Structures are given as structure tokens and as C-alpha cells.
Structure 1
Amino acid sequence: MAMNEVLSEIDFRFLSIDGKFPERIDSLNPEASARRYYRATYPDGATKILCKDKVFQHDFQEVGHFLEHHGFKVPKIYKTDVFNKLMLLSDEGNSDLSSIQEDAEYRNFLVKSLELLVSLQKTRPEPPVSTREFDYEKLNFENKFTFSSYINFSEMFKLKTKLRPEVVFFLEESSGFLAEYKEKVFCHRDFHARNIMLSPSGELTLIDFQDARMGTPFYDLSSLLYDAYRPIPFAMRQGLFLLFLNLSGNRFSKPKECYYLQCLQRSYKALGSYFMLVAEKKQDKYRKSMLNCLDNLLEIVQVGLFPDQLFLFFHLLKKELSENPMFLEKI
């Protein structure tokens, strides 16, 4: 690529290792984030990842250091430039867990991921993680985000389905329960298949953990088992939930109640992100994830025995989107 297209001379100078500069630099596809990533290939064939941000990610550095100290595999940080908001990281490859097509093989890696999660939850978090949590304010902020994103999204596609006050009220109540839940643990906050990198030797590397905070033991679990990027069958999900409880030594109170409320809250927040990504950011690749997410929510509402108004909203919205030519044309 042309160097000047996205990288300044400062960026390029930062990429020098032992006086050697990269021979080529490739822009990587960013996830739904303002951060930009580039793969730099050096004359000896070695590759590194340049991360260029709007603000320097001190939390990525600190949380990464904490995780590494506790034996978790995370990208190595070679050098940083706080002023220019640059970081040079180890290259963890192109494969993440969502690249595994076959369910039986994927299940094996989900079991490994659950073992990882249980170990994570046994750590004693330090700042910045220990000083912030999914309290009522944070959880309800996520609920409100989905509500406002839906208003924009429904206007864009001229939808008739209304997000009713009963739904909003039930999610507020759920947030209250989750915020009050006594057993708070380390939460990665985005623990899904695309944030777990897979090395050729089958090693798992965690990425995108800079926003980690304290939360219920079921927050990260719900992200993984109800992952809209990589759906799994119902029976497999149920089995993995029981395995998680087992691996955790059944140490959590009201596990089922908390799990399904957390799944509801987490997937509802994800739905809001998809509304925003499609309507405001024009990222059409998330249209399919939105339908998967609605399927997840329909399952959660039924298995969790939640009010009919929730089922109705998700059901009618999915039906309306499935018949909306404007929505379907870019799926």
C-alpha cells in the first residue's frame, strides 16, 4: 500500500526495529472500532502489528500486563509511543475461534475457552479493572443505548414494530438484579469468538480486553455461548452452561436466574450495537449478525421464562426485517 495513504512519517519511523524498516505494510480489517491495525512485514519475514488509536490505550497495557502475569496468553507489546498513540504488538495471526466451521471441533475450543474463563474469574483483579464495574448505571446506560439506536434504525428502515415501555421496564429491573448480584468477578467484557485468537498449534490468545471490569460470573459466559457471529445449537449451549457451573465448583448463587438475565441484558446490548453499526456507521456486514442476535434473544426469552412483551418485540422485529426488501438487499 502507499505509505502516505494512512501512515505518517512519524508512524513509519516508529516501526523501525534495530534500524530495520518494514518492506510492506498491510491495513487490517478493523472490527467495529475507531482503532486501526496494520501488519508490518520486515526484511527477515517477521511480522508485527501496528495499532494506531485516537487515544493511547493505557488500559490495554495495564490489563495485558496483569493477564500475562497470571499466565494468560496476550499480544506482546514491543514498543509504545504515548504521544502519537502508537503500539507495536506481536502478530497473533489471522485465525480466531469463529473461523472453525465444524460444530464438534468448535465445541472442543469452547471447552478450552471456558477453562480459560474460569481461571480468569479466579484472579484477584487490580486497578483499572477492580475500580470499575457493571453497576446499575453502566448496565442501564447500555439499555438506553439500545433504545436510542433502535429509534434511528427503525426510522431508516421505516419499521412499524415499536419498542414498548414494558420491555424497557423489564430490562431496567434486570439491570437492578445484575448490579446487586454479590459475586463479582473479572469480566473481559467482549469475550466472544472473534476476540479469542487461535494459533496454528491450537493455543488461545485473548485480545480486546482493555475495557475489562468487574461483573457477574455470567457476563463473559453469555458473550461466548450466545455469540451472534458464531451461533451454536441449543443442546450444545445447555451442556456448556452446566460444564461451566461444574468447572466453577458450583460456587455461585442463583446461577440459572442470573445467567438468563445476564444473557438477556448482554444480547440486548449487542442488538443495540448492530442497530448503530448498520444505521449510523453503514456497516452492512452486521445485518446478518442482527438476525442471529434476534434468534438468540427469542431463545433466551423462552428458556428464561421472561414476559411475553419481550418475545413479541423480538419476534415481530425479526419477522418485519425478514420481509423488508431494503434490509435484505445488503445481507
Structure 2
Amino acid sequence: MVLSEREQVIRDFADAHGWSAADIEPILGDASFRRYFRVVEPSRGAILMDAPPPEEDPKPFIDVARYLTAQGLRAPDIFAADAEAGLVLLEDFGDARMRETVDAGDAEAERAIYRTAIETLVELHQRPPADVPAYDRAVYQREAGLLTEWYCPARGLEVDADGYAAAWNAVLDGMDPAAPQVTVLRDYHSENIMLPPDGSQGLIDFQDALIGDPAYDLVSLLQDARRDVSEALEAEMLAHYRDLARPDYDFDTAYHVLGAQRNAKIVGIFVRLWKRDGKPRYPTMIPRVWAAMERDLRHPALAPVARWFDAHIPAELRDPAGTLGGKFAL
């Protein structure tokens, strides 16, 4: 079989690092330009990440993985890397993800797995922060703005984007300045938590980590865009976090503000993945995300943003029944 130029680069990289006898098999990718391969020999295996430049840079992933490992957390070991070529050979956690495992189990198994995931965050938040940029006002605004940039045009809505940004500024001004600054993985959810055979929980997809509020990754986990988390389980796990971490700032407000911010971002990203990148499965998840955002918007601290939504996005266009994907053609 004749290999493409990129496939030959991947093959040469594996060969150069002692895997010349391995089969290289593609596996499911994600929403980015990255691709993943399973590198398989009879007695061992690894994952090969292909993060091709200039679209991707694997160095942040490598740096955060090494930080997490140094802090005693379960990130994949890095076996070899060529950051300039965009290639990383790393530990294979297997195929068992939190999402499928929880969905196939009973309520007690779900609670146990979520409790462990909460305890991992508590442990992370007790460690010195990683050497990564800050999750600052500009990032929050840029992310929240994805909703007006992508979702509103898909709905045929012309909205006051400046007023939207002003509403978010008013809300963010009310955040507790005493909030501790911790490493925020930013995509800490059921499809990015692996369950290796050793019984641990392995972390993946953390290359976009920033320093910010502890509540953000709780939102990512408990208001998961990819599976339903009951409000009862969400409340129980938040209580578990509070019992262990003892947050001494206005954690409740932070949780709902960052919940609304993250969910607005995800709605925009999912429409972008559909409209720009031709990935039609993503709009089907928007109703779940929107429902969580509506709950967050009921918190008094979100009043300025809630008023903007009420003025600019009619209730019937908030995608309560998943109508977006069916109403608009690619």
C-alpha cells in the first residue's frame, strides 16, 4: 500500500522510536484537526497523536501532561514527541471512557465514578497551578461571543452584540475577586475521562488548560454537553466538592456564571462545527446545553445576561426541541 506523505511521516516517526514492527490503526478523532492512531504490537501498545502544524501545536498538550504527571495525577505518559512535526507517542489508556461506562451501569456506579472525578478536581485544585496563561476577561468574552457570532445568524437573528458583551461585563464584574486561581483543564467531561484497566481515571484533551476559577471544570463535568446529568446528581456532586474543597469564596455564583458562559460558548462552537466544518452531529446536542444554560441564567448574578436573552432571542428559538439541525440545511 502506498502511503501519503503525512502517513509516511507518521510511519517514520514510529519506526524511529522503536515501533517499527507495530501496526498503526486510525481511531476516532475529535472536533479539531488532530487525529489519533493506535500503535499496536503483540505485547504492547501506544497512542500516536497527529497534531499537524500549522493548525495544531502539540507542545501545550505535552507540557500539561508532564505537569499533571508531576503532580501525581493520571495523565498519559509521553513516550516520544516531535513537536515541530506535530507528533506525540503516548500511553494508551484503552477504550473505556467514563461516558459509555456510566451509561451502561446503574445509578450507584454512576455516583461512584462521578465522585472519583470530583475528587480528582479537588486534588488538582490543591496543587500549584501549571505554567499556562490566565483565563481572563478577554477570553471569557471571546468565548461567550461565539453565541452571537454563530448561533444567532444560524437562527436568522440580528442581535445587539455590543449589548451582549456589555451584559457579560456587568456579570463578570460581580465575580468574587477572592476566588483562588487553579489549573483549569477546560474540557473535563465524560468523554475526556478514561477508565484504564488499573482502575484509575485517566485525563486526556487538556492542551487548552488555563489558570482560572475552580468552578469552571465542575461545570464542564456536571453540565456535560454530551450526556444527561440529572439535576439531583449535579447537586450531590457539587455538595461533595464543597465538603472536600471547602471553597471560601462565592462558589455558587461562580458556578452559575461560568456555567452560562461555557454553555453559550458551546452552543456557538457546535453551530460552527456544523456550519463551517461540516459536522452535523453537533447541533443535536444543543438542546441539552441550552437547557443547562437556562438554569444558570436563573441565578440572580446572571440578570444582565438573562435580560439580554429575553430581549433578543425569542423563547421558541432557544432550541428546546433540537430544531436547529432540522430547520437549516448545511
TM-score range, shorter chain: 0.7 to 0.9
Is 1:112 aligned to residue 116 of structure 2?
yes
Work out the CA distance in 2 between the residues paired with 1:321 and 1:233. 18
Which residue number in structure 1 is paired with residue 297 of structure 2? 301
Work out the CA distance in 2 between the residues paired with 1:264 and 1:33. 23
* Deviations 1:164-217, CA, capped at 9 Å, x for gaps: 765543323223344845421111111111111111343101111122111111
Q: 1:291 aligns with which of 265, 287, 290?
A: 287
What letter is aligned with 2:116?
A: K
Is 1:145 aligned to residue 146 of structure 2?
yes
Indicate the SS of the match to 1:118. helix
TM-score (norm 2): 0.86
Q: Is the 8 A contact 1:15 1:22 kept in 2?
A: no
Alignment of 1:82-121 (within 5 A): 82-99=83-100, 100-101=102-103, 102=105, 103-121=107-125
Gaps of 5+ in 2: none
Cα pair distance change 1:105/1:6, threshold 3 Å: farther
Which residue number in structure 2 is paired with residue 8 of structure 1? 7
Kindly state the Cα deviation for residue 228 of structure 1 after the two structures are TM-superposed: 1.2
Work out the CA distance in 2 between the residues paired with 1:153 and 1:26. 37
Kindly state the Cα deviation for residue 111 of structure 1 after the two structures are TM-superposed: 0.6
Q: More deviation in 96-105 or 109-118?
A: 96-105
Indicate the SS of the match to 2:280. coil
Q: 2:185 aligns with which of 184, 188, 191?
A: 188
Q: Is the 8 A contact 1:175 1:265 kept in 2?
A: no
Q: More deviation in 177-186 or 288-297?
A: 177-186
Is 1:199 aligned to residue 165 of structure 2?
no
Which residue number in structure 2 is paired with residue 21 of structure 1? 20
Which residue number in structure 1 is paired with residue 245 of structure 2? 248
**Would you say how many aligned residue pairs link Structure 1 and Structure 2?**
320
Work out the CA distance in 1 between the residues paired with 2:314 and 2:92. 40
Q: More deviation in 137-146 or 216-225?
A: 137-146
Indicate the SS of the match to 2:15. coil
Kindly state the Cα deviation for residue 253 of structure 1 after the two structures are TM-superposed: 1.0
Kindly state the Cα deviation for residue 256 of structure 1 after the two structures are TM-superposed: 1.3
Work out the CA distance in 2 between the residues paired with 1:124 and 1:204. 21
Indicate the SS of the match to 1:8. helix
Which residue number in structure 2 is paired with residue 33 of structure 1? 32
Which residue number in structure 2 is paired with residue 272 of structure 1? 268
* Deviations 1:72-102, CA, capped at 9 Å, x for gaps: 1111111112332211111111221111214
State percent identity of aligned pairs.
Answer: 22
Kindly state the Cα deviation for residue 298 of structure 1 after the two structures are TM-superposed: 1.7
Is 1:53 aligned to residue 57 of structure 2?
no
Q: Is the 8 A contact 1:54 1:85 kept in 2?
A: yes
Cα pair distance change 1:5/1:326, threshold 3 Å: farther
Q: Is the 8 A contact 2:98 2:191 kept in 1?
A: yes
Cα pair distance change 1:320/1:248, threshold 3 Å: closer
Q: Is the 8 A contact 2:64 2:207 kept in 1?
A: yes
CA RMSD after TM alignment: 2.7
Work out the CA distance in 1 between the residues paired with 2:96 and 2:327. 29
What letter is aligned with 2:224?
A: D
